[in-house]
Amino acid sequence: MTAFPRRRMVPAYLATGGRTRPGSEGFERLTVLFADRAEPPTGLEPEHRRLWELLRPGALTVVEAAAHLRLPVSATVFLAADLVEAGCLHARAPIPRAQQTDRSIVERLLVGLRALR
């Protein structure tokens, strides 16, 4: 008999509380979320608690958290925004991509290093 993945009891759109926009702006898919409290916050709804417990051991991006929670990214943004506003989580902007190094500088460096021999 094949085991089917466990289906969520609450649809993802209910996790947002029927809202159409999160309370705080600026969350991207690669925004890094982390919890800094050792004790779980009191009075959290089950979906919020699951996100907080997921982030307690270390930081994850919004996309990674959504995958672990099996929620759409948009619903995870709502949950994260709620927890950031409540002071239970912290959010950090994603690390920007590194710029391409100018090849001529690397070549001059290599020439200089070879001259030191």
Q: How far out from the chain centre does Cα 91 lie?
A: 8
The pLDDT of residue 66: 93
Give phi and psi for 19, each to the nearest 5: -80, 155
- pTM for this model (two decimals): 0.65
In a domain, 102, yes or no: yes
In a domain, 29, yes or no: yes
Please tell me the total count of domains within the chain: 1
User: Domain with 23 in it: what CATH number?
Assistant: 1.10.10
Domain holding 98, by residue range, is 12-115
In a domain, 3, yes or no: no
The pLDDT of residue 108: 93
Find the angle CA(70)-CA(85)-CA(48) to the nearest 5 degrees.
Answer: 30
In a domain, 108, yes or no: yes
Q: What is the pLDDT along the chain (117 residues), one digit of tens a residue?
A: 455 556 555 555 555 565 656 656 667 888 999 997 777 778 888 888 999 999 999 899 999 999 999 888 888 888 888 888 888 899 998 877 778 888 999 999 999 999 998
3-state secondary structure of 111: helix
